[in-house]
Amino acid sequence: MDSIQIHGGVALQGKVRIQGSKNAALPILAGTLLTKETSYIRNCPKIADVYGMINLLKSLGCHVSWEESGIRVNAKDICRGEMQGEAITGMRSSLCLLGALLGRCGEVVMEYPGGCVIGERPIDLHLSALSKMGVVFTEEQGRIRANARKLCGAHIKLSVASVGATENILLAAVMAQGETLIEGAAREPEVVALCYFLRCCGAVIEGIGSSRLHITGNRLLHGADFMVPSDRIVAGTYLFAAVATGGNVLLEAAPYTQMEAVLNVAEKMGAQCIAASEGLYVQAGERPMAVSQLRTAPYPGFPTDLQSMALAVLTTSEGQCRIEETIFENRFRVVEPLREMGADIQVCDAHRVIVKGVEKLHGAAMEAKELRGGAALVLAGLMAEGESIITDCKYIYRGYENICKDLRELGARIVSV
């Protein structure tokens, strides 16, 4: 079931429920390591990265079970911080186990984390911040060894508001001795969710949601029962799928308060978005209108993870759009397959493209090269005339619990084959 087959041209209609957030669930699951008590994490999406995180937790000695509505984790028996294998090298967010394990065990040996190939994705900010907190890093046969005889609070100024680095520092700081101040912290909703989870466990964190986080460390944390928020990127993907096809949908449980920049773009494209207690109603125009400029930015700006989907929609818009990707290089790998479908896209450099809307795309055979770019190709397939086949969809399934079933519920002719 590694491929997706789509017969395009259906305007999406109906309702679909939005899954729990991948990027919130992963660091929260890492956070369950910080206490000897049991935590219950609800609304985790059933996706490969979450299964990978569960395997890592188990390999560290945690007792983990997936029950009806959540994952139960007990980390009372963990004694060593050694991690290796595919779950580390294939998943960027395995990196947040570094901060959590340093907090819990004081020593970690791990392989370099992997993840989607969407740029260089260095880890220098993680390492320099943790070094400031007393961690000594050495490299050993291509692996990282981290030692913290005494983890201390520190004043950390992040030069880039890195989501992963902010999460790693938080996870270490709640266990460190003394106070930690993070300036230039990422403000993404997933960082906020981690802060609230840690607070539920008894951590003291002030400034939640701002770029200045203050943590009072060295508390004895306890277990928590916590609900992962809905996935704003999945909601945004289906929102753009509706816009792309001239659809009329209800995205149940969509976290619209976290989606302001996305809703602004969708509205400029001609969609009407109405927030209600049950979710987000989207009524799209027949053909999307172009937005003149689209620029990705850290939250609350337009998310880099939805840039490829917006690009796909714009290929058939009325007009021209200049897209600037400010977070990652390599986010334009979808340009080539979209061109094969008839799109008119000019690549200016690694960070900028100009999209000129064409009347229609036609179906094609394509390969998903990464998670969000792969989802963008699904959108292009929904818009195109005729049949599209997307191969190597394992990347897409890393972030979407059931993209084919969800879109079928909205009337799309899409199957995994």
Contact residues for ligand UD1, defined by CB under 6 A = 23, 26, 92-93, 119-126, 160, 162-165, 186, 188, 190, 304-305, 327-328
Q: Sheet holding 63-67: strands in order across?
A: 63-67, 70-74, 38-42, 225-227
Residue among 44, 62, 96, 116 flagged as catalytic: 116
Look up 116 and say whether it is catalytic.
yes
Q: Pick the closer one to ligand UD1 by CB: 167 or 341.
A: 167
Least separation in angstroms between residue 258's CB and ligand UD1 is 12
Task: Judge whether 47 and 91 are in contact, CB under 8 Å.
Answer: no
Least distance (Å) between residue 28 CB and ligand UD1: 11
Nearer to ligand UD1, 90 or 119 (CB): 119
Instruction: Identify which of residues 43 and 304 has a Cβ nearer to ligand UD1 in the complex.
Output: 304
Distance of alpha carbon 67 from alpha carbon 49, whole angstroms = 17
CB of 137 to ligand UD1, least distance (A): 13
Q: Which of 307/316 has CB closer to ligand UD1?
A: 307
- Residues 88 and 110: their CA atoms lie apart, in Å, by 8
Cross-strand partners of 39: 73
Least CB distance from residue 197 to ligand UD1, whole Å? 14
The residue sitting closest to ligand UD1, measured at its beta carbon, is 164
Q: How far is the CB of 254 from ligand UD1 (least distance, A)?
A: 18
Nearer CB in complex with ligand UD1: 276/350 = 350
Q: Torsion-angle region of residue 375: left (phi > 0), alpha (psi -120 to 50) or beta?
A: alpha
Q: Is-contact 288 282, C-beta < 8 A?
A: no
Check whether the bond before 300 is cis (ω within 30° of 0). Answer: yes
Residue 269 CA to residue 379 CA, distance in Å, equals: 15
Alpha helices, DSSP H only, in 174-277? 189-200, 232-245, 260-268
Taking the C-alpha atoms of residue 224 and residue 198, their distance in angstroms, rounded to an integer, is 9
Q: Which residue has the tokens 């993680």?
A: 126
Q: Which residues are catalytic?
A: 116
